[in-house]
Structure 1
Amino acid sequence: MKVAGDWIARPATQAVCAALTGAGHRALFVGGCVRNALLGAPVSDIDIATEARPERVVEVAEAAGLKAVATGIEHGTVTVVSDGLPHEITTFRRDVETFGRHAVVAYSDDIREDAARRDFTMNALYALPDGTVVDPLGVGLTDLEARHVRFVGDAETRIREDYLRILRFFRFTAWYGDPDAGFDPTALAAVAETVEGLAGLSAERVGGEITKLLAAPDPAPAVAVMERTGALAQVLPGAAARLIAPLVHLEARTGTPPDPIRRLAALGAGEAEGRALRLSKRETRRLARLAELQGAAMAPAELGYRHGAEAARDALLLQGAMAGTPPEDAALAAAEEGARQRFPVAARDLMPAYAGPALGAKLAELEARWIASGFRLSKEALLEDAHRP
């Protein structure tokens, strides 16, 4: 079996492989690029495994006229830049001792040892520069074809090496698992035994995994199982999964692309959770607004006018998920129409007749009348009313 695609045929990428193989070393694509290529999914990051030690990789790359950057040389990784494209090259490794996220590793010349320390069998697939797939463990291809997400070797051991793998298990199952096959029972048993280890992870790592999971086309089954195993409560105390499935359904029905922040709001997350997960300031503000708007008793047009088309659409979807009824097309259209409106009266139009608190109150009164009119009252009509004795 071979992988194919523009990514592997690129001269820049083949030049990196040729530099290694020309110097007598192996060069094998590994992990996500191989997995995604076999699934027909987009390939972004390109990882290459080799038995060459990091210092040798730098030497070989520079001799070939390529730029070598020691981005993770202490972990055996060198980034080689070819025609502006980064390629992460990592030396085969084997675990000597593991504790939490950290591990004592030794370099290896054995691809099977390298494969045995990876997280999931579908990530332990390699490919030669010509695309020929190499499956050192003998199960990766079968599991990938079956969309079976399972740990390499003993699941509990893999998790205790890095508790983030609990969240990665749910994310990978949401993205790549067979939705009709359910979840690997051995993995779930291991999660139940180790779930408390999630408490020791950094907020940044948890936030990154949660948002990647919630960006999946349909994360609802994974989130529901996370809730049953206790994993959801560990990373988002107080979160509830019940609205995720209805929201995903409404998104599909209205042609709305998946959005992890909207889905976080459906879990019950707000500003505090956004900060706890170390989301960006913009994402945290958006999450806080959605938490507020879920219960807002505001007409769709006013929602759009006051909060913008995106927030209004999100609020209507979240409200629909809570009520169990989809937002009507007319409501979504009204929200978009409202977002395009601009209140025609400015403070200077009311001065000097009004000043201070009276000016603010009159502006608010006129704006409310204008919104109630369906944005149809003109500036002249509004000002005539404002200046009427």
Structure 2
Amino acid sequence: MTQLPSSILDDAALIQVLDALEAGGARAWLVGGAIRNALLDEPVSDIDIATDALPETVVALAQAAGLRAVPTGIDHGTVTLIAEGRGFEVTTLRRDVATDGRHAVVAFSTDLAEDAARRDFTINALYADRAGRVLDPVGGLPDLAARRLRFVGDPDTRIREDYLRILRFFRFFAQYGHEAQPLALEACARLRDGLTRIAPERVGAEMRKLLAARAPGASVALMARTGVLDLILPGANPQGLDALVAAEHAQDVAPDWLRRLAALVPGDPTAALRLSRNESRHLTRLREAAGAGWSLDEAGYRLKADEALDHALLHHAGTLPPDWRARLDRAQASPLPIRAADLPGLSGPALGQALRAAEGAWIASGFTLPVPALIDAAMNAAPTARETP
């Protein structure tokens, strides 16, 4: 019998929740991601719980134990119980009655196997009792050991229940997989048009998580092979992503999903993924810097710190000097030491051209040119500006 690490089960807040549920005779199991990650020795964040108690019973048991119950998805059987300031999603065992490719109508159940049969992937359909004994109704343990991603049951059926599962397949493969079920890939390719029914916000949420994985390249390559990538991000360039990930690893820079999106998609993915205004502005700045061909120093001078770092990795990875981070820091901390008041007699376009010339000289000097030399560079550019009508 496979056992969970004791560190998971020694969680005082979790024990309070399990005690509350079992005090009324209900059964409760840890389920899903916490089991998967614990067995893979990956970080465990949220702990979800399955129970045979009905949602209203869960609320009553929690209140009797002095725990706060929040009906976060009570129509679908989910109540969040708060213990020691942390939330635990407690969901009644259930089976699907009807699905439309986005939402499901469920019926509550007391059968663990029924609950497992409606889940997406075998590695997410693992349960554990409070003694740490892992229950595996659909054969997820061998898949987990092989890091093999496989749908529960028939892939076509699972995907038609919720087309977002196509993207979830590639996201989980990026995070946990070494081997992808061939039947699953064929189903993802065959049913990919169903993704057009999914809201951009949901697509964007999955792509954020996928691109944040340590090494998403193999998963993105599978997306390209199945036609899924071009459907959601037309013109995407997996080779650009591979080059960036290699640069991140070589330079010991933490992964950043938005930087990776910039490498993957040369155009504007704002609408396709429903990016925030700040995210869209960040990508626009990176495209502008790339189009202008800015050097490392110029990018450091003109961009915000995170934008400059992204530009360096995206467009200078092959030529980054050993001190590239220090150079970016120096550029960030080196504003032009002259102002309009230092250029008497200039205004309008002439002043603008003069200051731009001074900035160019300042950047080209590595931010070391003395103020008199900067003023000379500015004034030497001014006559051309004065001649402009």
Q: Same fold (TM over 0.5)?
A: yes
Give the residue type in structure 2 aligned to 1:284.
Answer: S
**Secondary structure, counterpart of 2:283 in structure 1:** helix
Give 5+ residue unaligned stretches, structure 2: 384-389
- CA pair 162-385 structure 1, distance change in 2 beyond 3 A: closer
Cα-to-partner distance string for 1:321-346 (whole Å, 9 max, x where unaligned): 7xxx3533345543333222121112
**Secondary structure, counterpart of 2:89 in structure 1:** strand
Could you tell me how far apart the structure 2 residues matched to 1:343 and 1:9 are? Answer: 58
Residues 1:367 and 2:370 are matched in the alignment:
no
Residues 1:132 and 2:133 are matched in the alignment:
yes
| Counterpart for residue 2 of structure 1 | 3
| Counterpart for residue 337 of structure 1 | 330
Is residue 97–residue 107 contact of structure 2 (8 Å, CA) maintained in 1?
Answer: yes
Query: Please, what TM-score do these two structures have when normalized by structure 1?
Result: 0.92
Give the residue type in structure 2 aligned to 1:88.
Answer: E
**Secondary structure, counterpart of 1:152 in structure 2:** coil
| Counterpart for residue 218 of structure 1 | 215
Give the residue type in structure 1 aligned to 2:334.
Answer: Q
- CA pair 77-235 structure 1, distance change in 2 beyond 3 A: same
Give the residue type in structure 1 aligned to 2:270.
Answer: G
Is residue 5–residue 37 contact of structure 1 (8 Å, CA) maintained in 2?
Answer: no
Matches within 5 A, 1:232-311: 232-270=229-267, 272-311=268-307
Q: Give the stretch that moved more between structures: 167-176 or 341-350.
A: 341-350
**Secondary structure, counterpart of 2:330 in structure 1:** helix
Give 5+ residue unaligned stretches, structure 1: none
| Counterpart for residue 25 of structure 2 | 24
Q: Give the stretch that moved more between structures: 165-174 or 289-298.
A: 289-298
Is residue 143–residue 149 contact of structure 2 (8 Å, CA) maintained in 1?
Answer: yes
Is residue 301–residue 336 contact of structure 1 (8 Å, CA) maintained in 2?
Answer: no
**Secondary structure, counterpart of 2:359 in structure 1:** helix
Could you tell me how far apart the structure 2 residues matched to 1:243 and 1:367 are? Answer: 31
| Counterpart for residue 176 of structure 1 | 176
Give the residue type in structure 2 aligned to 1:337.
Answer: R
Q: Give the stretch that moved more between structures: 79-88 or 373-382.
A: 373-382
1:7 positional shift: 4.6
| Counterpart for residue 190 of structure 1 | 187
Is residue 262–residue 290 contact of structure 1 (8 Å, CA) maintained in 2?
Answer: no
Cα-to-partner distance string for 1:103-143 (whole Å, 9 max, x where unaligned): 22110000010011000000000111232211122x11111
Alignment length (residue pairs): 380
| Counterpart for residue 106 of structure 1 | 107
Q: Give the stretch that moved more between structures: 312-321 or 27-36.
A: 312-321
Could you tell me how far apart the structure 2 residues matched to 1:264 and 1:291 are? Answer: 12
Cα-to-partner distance string for 1:200-219 (whole Å, 9 max, x where unaligned): 11000000101110111111
Could you tell me how far apart the structure 1 residues matched to 2:68 and 2:158 are? Answer: 34
Give the residue type in structure 2 aligned to 1:206.
Answer: V
% same residue: 52
Could you tell me how far apart the structure 1 residues matched to 2:362 and 2:242 are? Answer: 38
1:30 positional shift: 0.6
Is residue 6–residue 132 contact of structure 2 (8 Å, CA) maintained in 1?
Answer: no
Could you tell me how far apart the structure 2 residues matched to 1:84 and 1:68 are? Answer: 12
Which of 336, 342, 366 is the matching residue for 1:349? 342
Query: Please, what TM-score do these two structures have when normalized by structure 2?
Result: 0.92
1:50 positional shift: 0.2
Residues 1:313 and 2:309 are matched in the alignment:
yes
- CA pair 339-140 structure 1, distance change in 2 beyond 3 A: same
RMSD: 2.0
Residues 1:54 and 2:55 are matched in the alignment:
yes
| Counterpart for residue 321 of structure 2 | 328
1:6 positional shift: 4.4
| Counterpart for residue 386 of structure 2 | none
Could you tell me how far apart the structure 2 residues matched to 1:274 and 1:6 are? Answer: 42
Is residue 95–residue 103 contact of structure 1 (8 Å, CA) maintained in 2?
Answer: yes
**Secondary structure, counterpart of 1:55 in structure 2:** helix
**Secondary structure, counterpart of 1:374 in structure 2:** coil
- CA pair 350-61 structure 1, distance change in 2 beyond 3 A: same
Is residue 125–residue 140 contact of structure 1 (8 Å, CA) maintained in 2?
Answer: yes
